[in-house]
């Protein structure tokens, strides 16, 4: 992390956290749908409406991915204007735009992970998404940044940590969704 701090300071990116969070606009809507999906799955599995739960899981996941991609495309194209609106150093604005252009088109992976985690939670298996997200989004991401930044000391390494860990968690959640009996999760408790 010392090297990461040195890179930020040497590149004049002490203002980067202020303008670089425009790509985080996706968080406004991406967390609402999975919360509703958790409730929907839990209620329908509790009522033994398994087909409705399966259809709802599919519909909610498709909607989540679609909404995320629309937001991602908007952030990708409008990030120069949105980030510049907050002012700041020109170099910091450039880095914020670079971050947006790196991660915005991968919001679909983030949405997929959140929807799959919501389905697991709704099925009464809340510990599964907690561990997947904690291990991948914290452990793997920090390890990746700590190791790769020493080999390739550029800021883009940090930007790519997000889509990379979103992809890994999406694969894990897809395997869990397809290979486990989440439909009968509440009955087994």
pLDDT in tens, 52-105: 999 999 999 999 999 999 989 998 999 998 888 876 788 888 888 999 999 999
**Per-position DSSP letters for 45-98, written without gaps between them:** HHTT-HHHHHHHHHHHHHHHHHHHHHHHHHHHHHHHHHHHHT---HHHHHHHHH
pLDDT(11) > 70 = no
Provide the pLDDT for residue 58: 96
Give tens-digit pLDDT for 96-109. Answer: 899 999 999 999 99
Mean pLDDT of the chain: 85
Whether pTM exceeds 0.85: no
């Amino acid at each position: 992390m010392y090297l990461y701090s040195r890179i930020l300071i040497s590149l004049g990116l002490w203002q980067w956290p202020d303008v670089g969070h425009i790509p985080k606009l996706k968080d406004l809507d991406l967390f609402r749908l999975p919360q509703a999906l958790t409730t929907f799955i839990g209620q329908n599995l509790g009522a033994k409406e398994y087909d409705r739960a399966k259809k709802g899981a599919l519909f909610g996941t498709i909607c989540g991915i679609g909404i995320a991609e629309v937001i991602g495309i908007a952030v990708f194209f409008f990030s120069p204007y949105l980030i510049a609106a907050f002012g700041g150093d020109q170099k910091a604005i450039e880095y914020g735009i670079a971050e947006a252009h790196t991660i915005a088109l991968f919001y679909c992976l983030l949405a997929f992970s959140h929807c799959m985690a919501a389905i697991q939670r709704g099925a009464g298996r809340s510990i599964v998404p907690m561990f997947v997200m904690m291990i991948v989004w914290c452990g793997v991401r920090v390890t990746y940044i700590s190791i790769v930044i020493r080999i390739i000391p550029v800021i883009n390494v940090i930007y790519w940590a997000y889509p990379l860990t979103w992809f890994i968690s999406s694969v894990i959640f897809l395997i869990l969704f397809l290979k486990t009996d989440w439909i009968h999760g509440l009955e087994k408790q």
